[in-house]
């Protein structure tokens, strides 16, 4: 187990992740992701759970799309694609 204070992805932070390989209609390529897994788990487990962002922001925003503008790490208006949650190592 890592000691507290070590660097690890924290819930709510935005990271760039390589989502390749992808299958079917899965979102892919390098893109920003929002870390949503619990910090206690992130310290000890080699995987984090994240939601990918897309710069293609649909006009209709429903339960599966959340818009972000001007957030740290995002160069342009983006949308969280909630139905594409990923485990990333």
Q: Is residue 76 in some structural domain? A: yes
Query: pTM of the prediction?
Result: 0.82
Q: Is residue 43 in some structural domain? A: yes
Distance, C-alpha 77 to centroid of its chain = 15
| Helix residue ranges per DSSP H, 1-89 | 39-44
Residue 4, pLDDT above cutoff 60: no
Query: Domain of 21: which CATH number?
Result: 2.30.30.110
Q: Is residue 70 in some structural domain? A: yes
Q: Is residue 55 in some structural domain? A: yes
Q: Is residue 3 in some structural domain? A: no
Range of the domain at 74: 15-88
Q: Is residue 29 in some structural domain? A: yes
Q: Is residue 6 in some structural domain? A: no
pLDDT, tens digit, for every residue of 23-37? 998 898 999 999 999
Domain count, the chain: 1
Q: Got the DSSP string for 37-59?
A: S-HHHHHH-S-EEEEEEES---S
């Amino acid at each position: 187990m890592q000691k507290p204070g070590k660097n690890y992805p924290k819930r709510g932070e935005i990271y760039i992740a390589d989502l390749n390989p992808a299958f079917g209609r899965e979102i892919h390529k390098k893109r920003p992701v929002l870390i949503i897994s619990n910090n206690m788990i992130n310290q000890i487990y080699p995987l984090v759970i994240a939601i990918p962002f897309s710069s293609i922001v649909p006009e209709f925003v429903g339960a599966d799309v959340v818009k972000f503008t001007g957030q740290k790490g995002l160069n342009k208006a983006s949308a969280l694609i909630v139905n594409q949650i990923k485990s990333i190592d």
